Amino acid sequence: MRVDVHNHAIPARVLDLLRRDPVYRVTVEPEYISGGNHIRFYLDPTFIDPEAKLRDLESRGLQGAVVSAAPKPLYYYELEAGPAERLCRETNLGLAEFCEVAPERYRWMAHVPLQEPALAAKMLEQAAEAGSRGVLVGTSIAGRRPDGPEFEVFWSAAERLQQPVLLHPAYVDPHGVFRQYFFESVIGNLLETTITLESLICSRVLDRHPELTVIAVHAGGYFPYQAGRLRHCCTNRPELADAPPDPWAYVGQIKFDTITHDVKALTYLIDRVGAENVLVGTDLPFDVAPPRPMDELLAATDEATARIIAEENPARLFGF
């Protein structure tokens, strides 16, 4: 079964919470959501309806998905513990219900209030008991980076519970031209992933948690194409004196999705990190998703390698 491991949902019970509680600063219209931490966006039926999502997957050459919360609209890392916990609890209940419609074709990732690391660890344990197969984490915790020492309790829980961590951009630092040209997505998301991924390496979070698996979305940002620069700077910069000498050593512990929007770039990614470390991802149903992800994958590599990426890797990592 071909599986998309980077696919988002907004369960109906979460929409109900957003409608009734003004703390989330959101207006839910019949077809759009506005306010909160995301620009106004179309509330595609596949966010809410698991049957519609399956039909959409099939139209793109896929059969299953690992669903996670729509990230930027539902992160809310700036909130206090109470409303953040309520949101994450409703999200996890809703994602579990979503996947019950087709349990052989769906898995779900936990949503946790990472601004409260101990609470996040507790909620991840509860989610794992309820059937989660991973956890969604932002690259920025409303300005804090998840490589800080206060987040060790969360990383320990994710490692112990064998919950792969989907590292997804959040709270992208604003620059003057980002909104003008949609560069927050075109450039900023990739930069966010790169900063946090390399921070996890340089702070030795991945060394301290060797059984932890991190999935870097959007093909790992700039890491697969510029990690050599970090490796070089580790040889001559005092700021990196305590960093590991070779960031490439963490490939394997770090996995990558296929979202490059460029066949040649995807070919390079597969060659550089190995097919065993690449998984199909789409970012559906957001409009930045590649419309024909399997066509791109099959154009970038041979059928046997595509089978490893689309079928064998998600089966092994998420229990399909």
Q: What pLDDT does 23 receive?
A: 96
Listed residue (250, 317, 253, 244) closest to 279, CA to CA? 317
Q: Is pLDDT of 66 > 90?
A: yes
Q: Could you tell me the residue range of the domain that residue 302 belongs to? A: 3-318
Q: What is the pLDDT of residues 86-143, one digit of tens each?
A: 999 999 999 999 999 999 999 999 999 999 999 999 999 999 999 999 999 999 999 9
Q: What pLDDT does 303 receive?
A: 98
Q: What is the pLDDT of residues 134-185, one digit of tens each?
A: 999 999 999 999 999 999 999 999 999 999 999 999 998 777 778 788 898 8
Q: How far apart are CA 40 and CA 32, in angstroms?
A: 7
DSSP string, 210-227: TT--EEESGGGTTHHHHH
Q: What's the rounded mean pLDDT across residues 75-85?
A: 96
Residue 49 region, left (φ>0) first, then alpha (ψ -120 to 50), else beta?
A: beta
User: Percent of the chain, pLDDT > 90?
Assistant: 91
Residue 55 sits in a domain of what CATH number? 3.20.20.140
- Residue at 94: amino acid letter: G
* Cβ proximity of 119 and 56 under 8 Å: no
Q: What pLDDT does 232 receive?
A: 94
Torsion of CA 181, 184, 185, 187, to 10 degrees: 90
Q: What pLDDT does 132 receive?
A: 98
Q: Could you tell me the end-to-end alpha-carbon distance of the chain, in angstroms, rounded to an integer?
A: 8
The model carries a pTM of 0.96
Per the structure, the count of domains in the chain is 1
Q: What pLDDT does 174 receive?
A: 75
HSE at residue 144, side-chain half, CA atoms within 13 A, is 14
If pLDDT is split at 50, 70 and 90, which confidence band does 35 have?
confident
